[in-house]
Amino acid sequence: MTKIIGLTGGIGSGKSTVANYIASKGIPVYIADDEAKKIMENADVKQRIQNLFDESVLNADKTLNRKKIGEFVFNNPSKLKELNAIVHPEVHNHFKNWVKKHEKFPFVIKEVAILFETGGNKQCDKVILITAPEELRIQRAMKRDNLTKKDILVRINNQLPEAKKKELSDFIIENIDLSNTFLKIDEILKILAKT
């Protein structure tokens, strides 16, 4: 049976870079955030999301305005919970079908930013955590996403503390130097291939 390996890490940790590296090795990688964005644009899901808010969260072209939704939910934990209650079950079902299509592989990678927060780690056989010092993560995210330090800290504070994530993970990689990170990933992939 195909094993599910969770790949997670906070904003700016470098988990997407690691996911791309693993995918380049021919291992199937499911990027939950990307799939969630596609699923959210499905007409039925989009309508259910719009119904959560008093004002329109749609752009002129009728796509979701993610920035606006982000501003609403990151400062309102109950709205974030309601949004997740719509999106996460849809992504979960999509992922189950995706795994079926890849069952000839010994393992697949599921990359999820909020793996522990959603209880997704319970569906994983092993979990790889990508981490980095908070200041470095903030710098990376500011550069990549054009966000303020304050915006990034709000997102960090909405996620499980790093120490708790470490307790719940099977493999932990401190991603400071990318070439070193890739070497560690290679070692983990060898271990996973044997189990």
CB neighbourhood size of 32 (10 A): 25
Using CA atoms, how far residue 194 sits from 3, 126, 149, 187, in Å, is 12, 13, 42, 11
Report which secondary-structure segment, H or E, holds 71.
helix 66-74
Q: How far apart are CA 147 and CA 124, in angstroms?
A: 31
Annotated binding site for ATP: 12-17
Tokens 């499905």 sit on residue: 42
Annotated binding site: 12-17
Q: How far apart are CA 52 and CA 72, in angstroms?
A: 10
